[in-house]
Structure formats: structure tokens, C-alpha cells
A = this chain, B = another copy of it.
Amino acid sequence: MGEFKSLEKRLKNKGYKLTAPRRFLLGLLENNPGKSYSAQEIFDLLKGKGVDFSTIYRNLEMMAKEGILSAVQRENGTSSYELCLNHHHHHLICTDCGATRCINVCPMDLIDKSIWEGFTPKKHRFEIMGLCPECSKKNT
């Protein structure tokens, strides 16, 4: 619960206003650590709070850009977001039940630097789609 206040502080330090929609959003993610949500899922969970879809999209994108959230690309191409609590990492995504698991290997650390040949890497995406242990068993 201590994380929450610090997240709000981080937003303010970067010059953003602390609005109701942003509080709701951060509160939701903070209360479900490790889980990642799509814009649609967040919209549904915040029903009744009167937050518009466009506001959610805009804030998710903004917080991702600011390094507060990290975006995970799902199988179908839609992004889901989770708090950037710890360090940079990647995910295993179950194509059957949608569960994600964080892994702490990053291909950028494993790659031979000689492949760049003048290219300047800035960001990267790495996701592994497949079946989680539970769904692996079910679909046998």
C-alpha cells in the first residue's frame, strides 16, 4: 500500500496533475499486483466511476511512456498494462486462459552486440505465447 502514494508522487514530479481517473487507475493496478489489464478491462472495472474510454487510453499510453506502466502485447495485438514495479522484464502469455507470467531474462543481455552494425537500439519487445502449466495439462 506504500507503493501507491509513491506512484502518485512520481506522476506529480513529472509535472502531471493528480486527477480522479488517474487515482482510480493507479489504485486498481496497485491493488492487484502482478496482474495486467487491457484498456477494456480497466474500463469495465471502473464502470460507475464515470471515466471515459478515451481518458483511459490516453493515460495508459502516457504512463507507459513515462515508465510507470509497462505494456504487454497479447496474442491478438491488444496491449495490456501492469505496474513497472521492479526492473525491466518480459512475459510468458497463455493463449488459452490469458494468464501472464513474468520472466527475468532479457534477450538484449544475451545478444552479440556485433549485430547492430550502426543501428541504435532504443526499445524492444519480447513476448512468448503458449500454454501455461494448467492449460498444457487440460489440452493434452
User: How far does the Cβ of A60 sit from chain B's closest Cβ, in whole Å?
Assistant: 13
Instruction: Collect the chain B residues with CB atoms within 8 Å of residue A121's CB.
Output: 92, 128-130
Whether, in the assembled complex, A2 has its beta carbon less than 8 Å from a beta carbon of chain B, the answer is no
Instruction: Collect the chain B residues with CB atoms within 8 Å of residue A119's CB.
Output: 92, 94, 101, 128, 130-133, 136
Is A130 a contact partner of B123 (Cβ separation < 8 A)? yes
Q: Pick from B101, B110, B129: contact of A124, CB below 8 A.
A: B129
User: How far does the Cβ of A62 sit from chain B's closest Cβ, in whole Å?
Assistant: 15
Is B133 a contact partner of A117 (Cβ separation < 8 A)? yes
Is B129 a contact partner of A115 (Cβ separation < 8 A)? no
Number of interface residues of A (CB under 8 A): 35
Q: Scoring A residues 61 to 78 as 1 if CB is less than 8 Å from chain B, else 0, what string do you get? A: 000000000000101010
Give the CA-CA distance A105 to B118 in the complex, in Å. 17
Give the CA-CA distance A105 to B108 in the complex, in Å. 11
Give the CA-CA distance A120 to B138 in the complex, in Å. 12
Pull 12 A–B residue pairs with CB atoms less than 8 Å apart, ordered by A.
A92-B119, A92-B121, A94-B119, A120-B131, A120-B136, A122-B130, A123-B128, A123-B130, A124-B129, A125-B126, A125-B127, A126-B126
